[in-house]
Every structure is written in C-alpha cells, then in structure tokens.
Amino acid sequence: MPFFSRLIDGYRSFAETRLPVERNRYQKLAETGQQPEVMVICCCDSRVSPEVIFDAHPGELFVVRNIANLVPPYSPTGFTHGVSAALEFAVQILKVKYIVVMGHSHCGGVRAFVEHRDRPDPGDFIDNWMALIAPAAKSLGDGSGLSQTDYLGRLERASVVATLDNLKSFPWIKSRTDDRTLQLLGAYFDVANGALEVYDPAAGVFGPVAAQPAAAK
C-alpha cells in the first residue's frame, strides 16, 4: 500500500527499538486507560516536541499543540473550542495535577503577530488567532531600544504568562488551583541551543534549568 516512505521508515525504527521497551506500558495503558498527571500546551512548531524535550513515555503527557501555545479566555459559547475542550477533558476527567505552558524561541506565530500587526488584509486564521497575544504585547511597550530578536524573545515569554492568566479565567481551573490540586507552570525552550527556562511567578521572571542536577554536598 503506498504511503509516505519517511514515515514508514520511522515507524519501523520505532517498532524495532522503542516498542519492545514500551510494549508492556502500552498494553497496561490500553487496559487501564491513560492517567497522565501533566498537561502540556505548546506550539505546533516541529522543533519543540514536548515528548522529546521532557523525555516522556507513552501515557505521561496530555498534549495540546497550537500556533504559539495559546489558550483563549474562558468563553462557553456555541463555537467549536478545541483548546477549551482539551482543557475540560484534562482537568475535569483526567484530573491532571499540572498544566505546563511551554513557549519557545524563533516562534513563527509570534513573529507573524509582530510583522502583521498593522496589516490591512489579515489571512483566514493566523492573524486572528495571534491577536490573543495583543495584551501581552501591550504590556511590553513599543520595544524601543531592543533588537528584534530580544523583543521577540520577551514577547514569546510574555505570551506564556498571558496564557497562564487566561487559564485562570476557566472557573474549574481556578477552583482547582485555589485548592492546590492543580498547578499552572510556565516554561520556555530555546530552539538554538536546547536550553530550558521555567517561570517563577513570585519574581515574574524566567530562569534557566541546569542540564545536570546539582552535585550532592
């Protein structure tokens, strides 16, 4: 049967090397269902796969990917809300303990927002979607004195924080964070060097994660 050979080759590599290691886990997950503790919201970008970055096994991460890792504010209307449906399933049914919003460097969605900001002819979907980060952009000011790379980096991080705020607009997320059965976390991945930063909400800054654990003293 004709199919895309790169994917068939990849599947065969998976079946030969990883599947034997994970076979029991897959079977158990099929029998008992998934119980991931972590939901990850990250970008569609082909360079930021959370299963790769967090070295995750099947069943560990409940992942939603969209352009620029965004969550629209709570809005229970008759429209088809894909991100909100995934959140409802993760929080209300799976009862995940953590929601991680992971932004990244070189994000095409964030760049499109900046470059198309004043474009009179928005495309069908991307500009409208990326308008979600307008409040984050406003909080940064006009970015004067910053190189475009630095400005984009700040906006990519600010949009993670804005998404964390939007998550709190969902009443069933707010109630779970209030009773501390759910934690909202922010992270940022640098595509160029593989560095990971995590958000410190008390200090309002992102800080680096050491690639190696600190040596025991």
Could you tell me the smallest distance in angstroms from the CB atom of residue 102 to Zn ion?
10
What's the min distance (Å) between Cβ of 148 and Zn ion? 16
Q: Which is nearer to Zn ion, 45 or 197 (CB)?
A: 45
Whole-angstrom distance, CA of residue 123 vs CA of residue 26: 41
Cβ nearer to Zn ion, comparing 43 with 130:
43
Q: CA dist 199 to 101, 118, 142, 186, 187, Å? A: 10, 30, 23, 5, 6
Least Cβ distance, residue 194 to Zn ion (angstroms) = 16
Closer to Zn ion by CB, 94 or 195: give it. 195
**Per rule CB under 5 A, is residue 45 in the interface with Zn ion?**
yes
Contact 157, 105 (CB under 8 A): no
Taking contact as CB under 5 A, which single stretch among the options 27-35, 60-68, 146-154, 177-185 is the one that binds Zn ion? 60-68
Binding to Zn ion in span 63-102, by CB under 5 A? 68
CB within 8 Å of 47: residues ≥ 6 apart: 104, 106, 191
Instruction: Tell which one of 87, 90, 107, 130 touches Zn ion (CB under 5 A).
Output: 107
- Shortest approach of Zn ion to residue 141 CB, angstroms? 22
Nearest to 43 by CA among 83, 5, 91: 83
Do the beta carbons of residue 151 and residue 143 sit within 8 Å?
A: yes
Residues 6+ apart with CB under 8 A from 58: 22, 25, 26, 29
Binding site for Zn ion (CB under 5 A): 43, 45, 68, 107, 109
